[in-house]
Amino acid sequence: MTDQKTTASPRRDELLERAYAYVLQHGLTDISLRPLAAEIGSSPRVLLFLFGSKDGLIRALLARARAEEVSLLSKLKDRSSTPGGNLKAVVGELWLWISAPERRPVLTIWVEGYARSLIEPAGPWADFGRDTVQDWLSLLASTQHPAVRDTEQGKTERTLALAVLRGALLDLLATGDTPRTTKAVTAQLATLTCCA
Q: Does residue 149 sit within a domain?
A: yes
Backbone angles phi, psi at 159, to 5 degrees: -65, -40
Average pLDDT over residues 60-83: 75
**How many domains, the chain?**
1
Residue bearing the bigger pLDDT, 85 or 156: 156
Average pLDDT over residues 83-91: 76
Q: Does residue 195 sit within a domain?
A: no
Note the pLDDT of residue 81.
57
Q: Does residue 88 sit within a domain?
A: yes
- Min mean pLDDT across 2-6, 40-44, 192-196 is at 2-6
Note the pLDDT of residue 30.
80
Q: Does residue 138 sit within a domain?
A: yes
Identify the CATH number of the domain in which residue 130 sits: 1.10.357.10
CA distance 50 to 84: 47
Please give the single-letter amino acid code of residue 173.
Answer: L
* pLDDT beyond 70 at 158: yes
CA distance 105 to 85: 31
Q: Does residue 4 sit within a domain?
A: no
- Min mean pLDDT across 75-84, 139-148, 179-188 is at 75-84
Strands, E assignment, 20-109: none
Long-range contacts of the stretch 92-99 (C-beta < 8 A, 24+) = 92/185, 92/186, 92/189, 94/165, 95/165, 95/168, 95/182, 95/185, 97/72, 98/165, 98/168, 98/169, 98/172, 99/168, 99/172, 99/178, 99/181, 99/182
CA distance 185 to 169: 10
Nearest residue to 165 (alpha-carbon basis) of 150, 147, 184, 152 = 184
CA distance 73 to 162: 13
Q: Does residue 133 sit within a domain?
A: yes
Q: Output the average pLDDT for the chain.
A: 86
- Min mean pLDDT across 2-11, 82-91, 98-107, 148-157 is at 2-11
Q: Does residue 74 sit within a domain?
A: yes
Q: What is the DSSP letter of 176?
A: -
Average pLDDT over residues 147-166: 93
Q: Which domain holds residue 157?
A: 10-189
* pLDDT beyond 90 at 50: yes
Q: Does residue 72 sit within a domain?
A: yes
pLDDT digits (tens, 9 = 90+) for 113-143: 899 999 988 888 888 899 989 988 988 898 8
pLDDT digits (tens, 9 = 90+) for 16-32: 999 999 998 888 878 89
For the question of whether the overall pTM of this predicted structure is more than 0.85, the answer is no
The region, left, alpha or beta by phi > 0 then psi within -120 to 50, assigned to residue 6 is beta
